[in-house]
Amino acid sequence: MNYQAKLSTPFGMLGIRCGADALTGIDFLELGATPQPPSQAFAREVCEQLQAYFIDPNFHFNLSLKLNGTVHQTKVWQAISAIPPGQTRSYGDLATLLTSSPRAVGQACGANPIPIVIPCHRVVSKSGIGGFIHQRGGNALDIKCWLLAYEKQSNQGVC
């Protein structure tokens, strides 16, 4: 995968994909990935805003996004973007809001190309943490738990 930057975070390396003026993707990279300085001005802005978030979980991202998804996915991603830091919504809550099903909401969450900026980690199961980036275990859920705890959700028993 070609990245315009690779950013070190408290839980691992993020791969940043973007064009000259829009963010197109953030990937959680394998252990051992090495940092890569931004190769362009917009990638530098993305990294600066992500670093600001890791200093202050209430930081509000202000980035142009280029999303390629279905109409349903786009609606789910917009609804997710409205969830404030430190709060969560269940897949069922979003399904009710969007006249959808919890499973369809979960699939759209898993297909989110820009996690953290579109905070799909704030969407949980009614009975627990749920999945993250199409995974139900391992490092992905560790990252989701870290993000929720960072945003002060660990005290509600989600992780």
Chain segment 95-113, per-residue pLDDT in tens:
999 999 999 999 999 999 9
Give the H/E segment covering residue 122. Answer: none
- Residue 137 has a pLDDT of 66
pLDDT at 23 > cutoff 80: yes
Question: Per-residue confidence at 154, pLDDT binned at 50, 70, 90?
Answer: very low
Q: What residue ranges do the domains of the chain occupy?
A: 5-55, 71-156
Terminal C-alpha separation, the chain: 31
Residues tagged active-site: 120
User: 71-156: what fold?
Assistant: Arc Repressor Mutant, subunit A (1.10.10)
pLDDT band at 133 (very low <50, low <70, confident <90, very high): confident
Residue-by-residue DSSP string for 2-26: --SEEEEETTEEEEEEE-SS-EEEE
pLDDT digits (tens, 9 = 90+) for 54-94: 999 999 999 999 999 999 999 999 999 999 999 999 999 99
The tens digit of pLDDT for each residue in 136-145 reads 766 888 899 9
